[in-house]
């Protein structure tokens, strides 16, 4: 099945017109130019199963665990993609070295490009131009080698409307309510959304300018945030794959909403809520349920890919992030971090992927 998945992915990318052949930006340790229209078709739905992937942070975390070992674990899992965030200091040379290692193992990278400047403090013009330049530089450097770029990571969260703020329709959002649900386009505060939109436009235009054949995956943090897609469409932002993150309940309603945009859906982050916070057995059962759910979504909503968040535990961070992994991480006798063994969720996902 691993050979089939690789062949299917190659077919998807050839169909798209390209050449044929999940974290934050903090480093460890913790402490507009015009662009041509995309002209890029969305991937064809040709696979009998989803494309499976894992999230990792090779540039910003995982001390003591080499890039080679991380990619070997992705391969051992049976996944075909490794979704990675780029830190502020990550260069095209860094990404090229990781890509070389991934390609040697038959693993495709899914890099996440985020705005290289603060959307809180910079102007819309600076955000858009900086994002354009950044995305163009990376897309151009990997033209024909990186079939899909994910653009932004949960940026819409910054724009969720807060109590007493004014909606775009001139109605004040109630001071008695909590933050907006994100379901409606009105659940986003206009001035903050304008900065999010500037970032997404710049990233999309930059990829189109640097590699017109590359696909642009874009979306939200899940949690009901479907209204951001309406705003993206209204703003004329160009994307090819709709991205969703899933850590909560039944999202069939959200998949139906996203499917209406006519683009394939990639769930680029999913896991049992809190990873193994409530036990490794519970995580394994939750992962199993989600995999079954996504396979049911494949034909009904054109869900094409799902990426577990995440490959490795990160015990050097506080909170649930420390136990989100499929693979345990601990310190050896010398105090160095090391991968210490698979959790039940790793073998569960491995078995389910191989069984298809």
Spatial separation of the C-alpha atoms in residues 219 and 80, rounded to whole Å: 21
What is the residue-averaged pLDDT of the chain?
Answer: 89
User: Quick one: pLDDT at residue 249?
Assistant: 78
Question: Which of the four pLDDT bands, split at 50, 70 and 90, describes residue 212?
Answer: very high
- Give the angle subtended at the CA of 308 by the CAs of 305 and 313, to the nearest 5°: 160
- Give the angle subtended at the CA of 349 by the CAs of 345 and 353, to the nearest 5°: 175
User: Quick one: pLDDT at residue 21?
Assistant: 29
What are the Cα distances from residue 285, in Å, to 81, 124, 176?
A: 23, 44, 38
More confidently predicted of 182 and 42: 182
pTM: 0.88
Q: What is the mean pLDDT of residues 163-173?
A: 98
The encoded tokens of residue 226 equal 């479907």
Domains within the chain, CATH numbers bracketed? 2-22+47-355 (3.20.20.80)
Which residue from 91, 94, 75, 87 is spatially nearest to 153, judged by alpha carbons?
A: 87
* Phi–psi pair at 335, nearest 5 degrees: 90, 5
Q: What is the mean pLDDT of residues 342-356?
A: 94
Helix, strand or coil, per DSSP, at residue 337: strand
User: CB–CB of 53/18 below 8 Å?
Assistant: no
Helix, strand or coil, per DSSP, at residue 160: strand
* Phi–psi pair at 170, nearest 5 degrees: 85, 0
% of the chain exceeding 70 in pLDDT? 87
Which residue from 226, 341, 352 is spatially nearest to 290, judged by alpha carbons?
A: 352
User: CB–CB of 207/151 below 8 Å?
Assistant: yes
Question: Which of the four pLDDT bands, split at 50, 70 and 90, describes residue 250?
Answer: confident
- Residue 188: DSSP 8-state: B
What are the Cα distances from residue 214, in Å, to 138, 242, 302?
A: 11, 15, 20
Q: What is the mean pLDDT of residues 41-49?
A: 55
Per-residue pLDDT of 182-210, as tens digits, reads 999 999 999 999 999 999 999 999 999 99
Instruction: Classify strands 337-342 and 327-331 as parallel, antiparallel or unpaired.
Output: antiparallel
- Tokens 């062949």 belong to which residue? 7
Which residue from 144, 149, 204 is spatially nearest to 17, judged by alpha carbons?
A: 144
Question: Which of the four pLDDT bands, split at 50, 70 and 90, describes residue 47?
Answer: low
Q: What is the mean pLDDT of residues 236-264?
A: 96
More confidently predicted of 21 and 177: 177
User: Quick one: pLDDT at residue 48?
Assistant: 84
Spatial separation of the C-alpha atoms in residues 240 and 220, rounded to whole Å: 14
Spatial separation of the C-alpha atoms in residues 171 and 167, rounded to whole Å: 5
Residue 145 pLDDT exceeds 90: yes
């Amino acid at each position: 099945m691993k050979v089939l998945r690789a062949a299917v992915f190659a077919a998807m990318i050839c169909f798209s017109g390209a050449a044929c052949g999940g974290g934050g930006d903090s480093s460890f340790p913790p402490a507009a130019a015009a662009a041509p229209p995309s002209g890029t078709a969305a991937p064809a739905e040709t696979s009998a199963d989803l494309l499976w992937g894992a999230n990792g942070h090779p540039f910003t975390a995982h001390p003591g665990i080499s890039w080679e070992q991380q990619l070997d674990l992705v391969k051992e899992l049976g996944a075909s993609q490794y979704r990675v965030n780029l830190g502020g200091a990550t260069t095209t040379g860094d990404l090229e070295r990781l890509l070389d290692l991934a390609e040697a193992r038959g693993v495709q990278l899914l890099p996440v490009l985020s705005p290289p400047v603060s959307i809180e403090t910079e102007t819309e013009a600076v955000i858009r131009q900086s994002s354009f330049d950044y995305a163009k530089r990376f897309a151009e450097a990997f033209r024909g080698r990186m079939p899909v770029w994910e653009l932004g990571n949960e940026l819409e969260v910054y724009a969720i409307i807060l109590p007493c703020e004014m909606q775009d329709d001139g109605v004040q959002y109630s001071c008695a309510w909590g933050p907006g649900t994100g379901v409606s386009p009105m659940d986003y505060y206009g001035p903050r959304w304008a900065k999010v939109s500037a970032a997404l436009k710049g990233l999309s235009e930059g990829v189109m300018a640097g590699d017109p054949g590359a696909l642009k995956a874009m979306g939200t943090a899940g949690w009901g945030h479907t209204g951001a897609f309406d705003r993206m469409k209204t703003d004329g932002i160009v994307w090819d794959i709709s991205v969703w993150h899933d850590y909560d309940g039944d999202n069939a309603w959200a998949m139906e909403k996203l499917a209406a945009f006519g683009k394939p859906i990639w769930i680029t982050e999913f896991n049992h809520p809190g990873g193994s916070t409530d036990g490794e057995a519970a995580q394994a059962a939750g992962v199993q349920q989600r995999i079954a759910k996504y396979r049911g979504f494949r034909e009904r909503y054109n869900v094409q890919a799902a990426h577990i968040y995440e490959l490795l535990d990160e015990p050097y961070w506080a909170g649930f992030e420390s136990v989100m992994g499929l693979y345990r991480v601990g310190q050896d006798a010398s105090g160095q971090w090391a991968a210490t063994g698979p959790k039940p969720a790793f073998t569960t996902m491995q078995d389910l992927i191989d069984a298809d």
